[in-house]
């Protein structure tokens, strides 16, 4: 079972990833804690959703359509652990609704790892040391 997160799943294609991203942002924008952060920073939502769809497709489907640097903007947003916890919570809920369990955990596992790396970079920038908080799901 350990190999499952490294393999694509038949339910995962560009259309289902776009649905995940669109549904996630529909909720994140409405959220009272993290919604205002997106409202302040994102001015073209069609562009942002297309970009994040490419990001996930590049990671999971290895499409190569994203060549951005995801870390940089997050270092400037003054993000705290509570923001990441809310982001993860909405993402997990959405992934579970849109994908079967075996596919949802592929996205969730990656989101946990990326959130951990963002949090550790933010801490390092502040002269602190953080440890990983988002546990990978038991596989």
* Cα separation, 139 vs 129, whole angstroms: 28
* Least Å from the CB of residue 51 to ligand HEM: 6
User: What is the rounded distance in angstroms from the CA atom of residue 63 to the CA atom of residue 12?
Assistant: 12
Please identify, among the stretches 2-10, 13-21, 67-75, 121-129, the one whose residues bind ligand HEM according to the rule CB under 6 A.
67-75
C-alpha count within 13 angstroms, C-beta hemisphere, residue 138? 0
- The C-alpha atoms of residue 12 and residue 100 are separated, in whole angstroms, by 10
Residue nearest to ligand HEM (CB): 68
Bin 127: left if φ > 0, else alpha if -120 < ψ < 50, else beta: left
55 versus 99: smaller Cβ distance to ligand HEM: 55
Closest CB 4 distance from ligand HEM, rounded Å: 19
Q: Find the binding residues for ligand HEM in span 73-132 (CB under 6 A).
A: 73-74, 77, 79, 83-84, 87, 111, 114-115, 118
Cβ-based nearer residue to ligand HEM, 9 or 83: 83
């Amino acid at each position: 079972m350990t190999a499952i997160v490294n393999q694509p799943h038949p339910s995962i294609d560009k259309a289902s990833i776009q649905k995940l991203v669109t549904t996630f942002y529909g909720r994140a924008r409405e959220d009272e804690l993290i919604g205002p952060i997106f409202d302040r920073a994102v001015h073209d939502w069609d562009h942002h959703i297309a970009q994040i769809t490419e990001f996930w497709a590049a990671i999971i489907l290895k499409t190569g359509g994203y060549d951005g640097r995801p870390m940089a903007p997050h270092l400037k947003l003054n993000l705290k652990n509570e923001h990441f916890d809310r982001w993860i919570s909405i993402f997990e809920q959405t992934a579970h609704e849109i994908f079967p369990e075996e596919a949802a955990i592929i996205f969730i596992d990656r989101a946990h790892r990326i959130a951990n790396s963002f949090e550790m970079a933010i801490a390092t920038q502040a002269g602190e040391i953080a440890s990983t908080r988002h546990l990978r799901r038991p596989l």
